[in-house]
């Protein structure tokens, strides 16, 4: 039989947390990110409106994505994305578009479009 000695904490118990000094709040970067996000949202709105309003565009994107034709998907979406760079990831069930601000310093917006069953 094995014996595992039980250790007792000395009284008073040590605190479970420590107080940390947080950095001072500087809202300028946060405000700049919000301003940059407006451009990303415009691109996202333009792209989603185009996909929503055109059956031909939606089916072309789906067919190219299902065939893993990244060049064609990028070319189809690039027309509607003007204020940002974008990265694509897709599979037979959907498309993920990540919009990144041109300076690549502060912001990104990720959109997930699904056409398969969950």
Are 57 and 76 in contact, with CB atoms under 8 Å apart? yes
| pLDDT score of 76 | 94
Q: Is 66 exposed, middle or buried (0-12, 13-18, 19+ CB in 10 A)?
A: middle
pTM of the model: 0.74
By percentage, how much of the chain surpasses pLDDT 90?
47
By percentage, how much of the chain surpasses pLDDT 70?
82
Query: Is the predicted pLDDT of residue 15 greater than 80, yes or no?
Result: no
| pLDDT score of 61 | 93
Least confident of 58-62, 91-95, 98-102: 91-95
């Amino acid at each position: 039989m094995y014996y595992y000695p039980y250790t007792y904490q000395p009284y008073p118990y040590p605190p479970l947390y420590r107080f940390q000094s947080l950095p001072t709040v500087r809202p300028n970067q946060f405000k700049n990110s919000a301003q940059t996000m407006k451009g990303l949202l415009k691109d996202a709105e333009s792209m989603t409106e185009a996909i929503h309003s055109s059956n031909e565009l939606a089916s072309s994107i789906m067919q190219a994505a299902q065939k893993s034709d990244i060049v064609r998907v990028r070319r189809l979406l690039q027309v509607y994305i003007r204020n940002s760079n974008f990265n694509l990831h897709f599979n037979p069930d959907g498309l993920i578009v990540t919009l990144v601000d041109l300076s690549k310093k502060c912001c990104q917006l990720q959109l997930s479009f699904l056409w398969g069953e969950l």
